[in-house]
Each structure stands twice: as C-alpha cells, then as structure tokens.
Amino acid sequence: MSIKVENLTKEFDGRKVLNNISFSVEQGEILSIVGFSGSGKSTILKILCGLLDADSGNIDIGNGDVAMVFQYSALFDSLNVFDNISFALQERKEFRNKYTKEQLKEIVAKSLETVGLSGIEDKFPHELSGGMQKRVSLARAIVTQPEFILYDEPTAGLDPVASTVIEDYILRLREETKATSIVVTHQMSTITRCSDKVIMLYDGNIVFRGTPNDLLKQDNPFTKQFVSASIEGPMKIAATGF
C-alpha cells in the first residue's frame, strides 16, 4: 500500500508550518524527509499517524496499520520491555483478546530477536542504553504487522556504529514487513543507506525532491547548503522558528 499526500497544509499560531505540500511513497519504498529543526517533519508524521489533524489537504494512507517510531523512543518508564512491546496488542481494541499470553510471549520474543535484543523482556527502560531503547521502540513498532512504518529521527543521539545498527534494522524491517516507510532524519548515512527517495522541507515548502544521489550532487542551493551544513545559503535558521 502506498502513501499519497496532496496539498497538505497545517498552521500553528498563524504560521503555516506546512504550506500545500504533496508527495507520495510507493508500496515498499522508504522516503526520507530532511529539513532544519522546526521545518515540520514531525508534524507530517503526526498527521499521517492520526495524532494531529491537517488543516486541509488529501491524505491517502489506505486502511493499513500505521506504526510510529517516536523521536525520543517514547517507551513507558513504568512498564517493562515485554509490556512496552506488547502494549498495542494488549490495549488496542482490534488486537485485545486476539492472542493468548503464550502467543504474546512468542510475538514479543520474535520482535526482540529481529532487533538483536533477545531475552530482555523483564528489563525496564531506565536499565537500557539510548540505542537499546531505540531498538525496543523499533520492536514495538512491528508487533502489529504494520503496512506503514514512520520513523522520527531513529538515529538521533546515537554514535555512528549504533546508527549503522539501526539503519540495518530499518532495512531488515522493510524486508520482513514489506512496509511502506518514511524516515525523518538529519543523518546522511541514514539517507543514503536507507532511502529510495528524499524530500527536503523549508519554510513550509518542499524545496528538493529526488534520490539520495541527487541530493549528494549539491546542484541546487538548498541541497548544497544542507549537505555542506552551511549557515550561508537560501535557508535562514530564523525562518524555521528555531
């Protein structure tokens, strides 16, 4: 199933954070969304997963299940890893009573195995490193067998090796679930390794769309400024509300 967004607009406090933007992600593809802090990346994901309403626009995300991997892992501190991962299966109407306790255990064990963390069901989030928490949040995302996975800065705050591990899992989850995915990221390695195509947001608009290779060509002022991380260029930090 694909994602189609047409003329999406969202305003906060009189400021158009998203101004009539359109893009699509085909079945099984991974799209990266890049852009300065405050450019509306998380807002797009929150609208797609139903946490926020758009002001206007058409969003076609089928009837499939949408999983969100949040920017700050967003695990429940007071729940252990087992309860965090199985939360949706235990609490959501459409899943409640679908599985026996034994089946839940199997599903959680398999999802932990997928992210290389077998056997940590009894641990609490504060006992895990940031990278492990991210991987638990990936494991949590897949237990509902989602058709769509939305990742909000999945490698933020991780060292380069831990980032590579997460990138490998993003690719692996795509293989295993065939999900259509969107990854919000600032990290070049995530863009080049994981995505089929990229859009860049600035001041409410999409200022670049293309492949990761097109982005690296730096042949427009926006991609040039982004890739070289320059303060000089068409994008002014003030315009993002940063």
Residues that bind ligand ATP (CB under 6 A): 12-13, 17, 35, 37-43, 241
Report in angstroms how near the CB of residue 205 gets to ligand ATP at its nearest. Answer: 13
- 212 CB-near residues (< 8 Å, 6+ apart): 32, 191, 192, 195, 197, 198
For strands 66-69 and 148-152, give the pairing. parallel
Residue among 193, 183, 197, 77 at smallest CA distance from 138: 183
- How far is it, in rounded angstroms, from Cα 61 to Cα 48? 8
Enter the tokens of residue 177.
């679930």
The least distance separating ligand ATP from the CB of residue 45, rounded to whole angstroms, comes to 8
Q: Which does 12 bind (CB under 5 to 8 A by kind): ligand ATP, Mg ion, none?
A: ligand ATP
Which residue's CB comes closest to Mg ion? 42
- Shortest Å, Cβ 41 to Mg ion: 5
Q: Quick one: DSSP state of residue 58? A: E
Decide whether 42 or 181 has the Cβ nearer to Mg ion: 42
Give 147 or 153: the residue with its C-beta nearer to ligand ATP: 153
Of 33-52, binders to Mg ion (CB under 5 A) are 42
Euclidean distance between CA atoms 136 and 118, whole angstroms: 10
CB 154 within 8 A of CB 68: no
* Burial of 101 per CB tally in 10 Å (0-12, 13-18, 19+): exposed
18 binds, among ligand ATP, Mg ion, none (CB under 5 to 8 A by kind): none
Instruction: Output the smallest distance, CB 234 to ligand ATP, in A.
Output: 17
Q: Cβ 199 to Mg ion, closest distance in Å?
A: 15
Chain residues 85-144 in contact with Mg ion, contact rule CB under 5 A: none
Closest CB 67 distance from ligand ATP, rounded Å: 18
- b/e code 197-219 from CB counts within 10 Å (16+ = b): bbbbbbbbebbbebebeebeeee
The dihedrals phi and psi of 197, each to the nearest 5 degrees, come to -150, 165
Q: Which does 43 bind (CB under 5 to 8 A by kind): Mg ion, ligand ATP, none?
A: ligand ATP
Binding partner selected for residue 190 from Mg ion, ligand ATP, none, CB under the kind-specific 5 to 8 Å limit:
none
Residues that bind Mg ion (CB under 5 A): 42
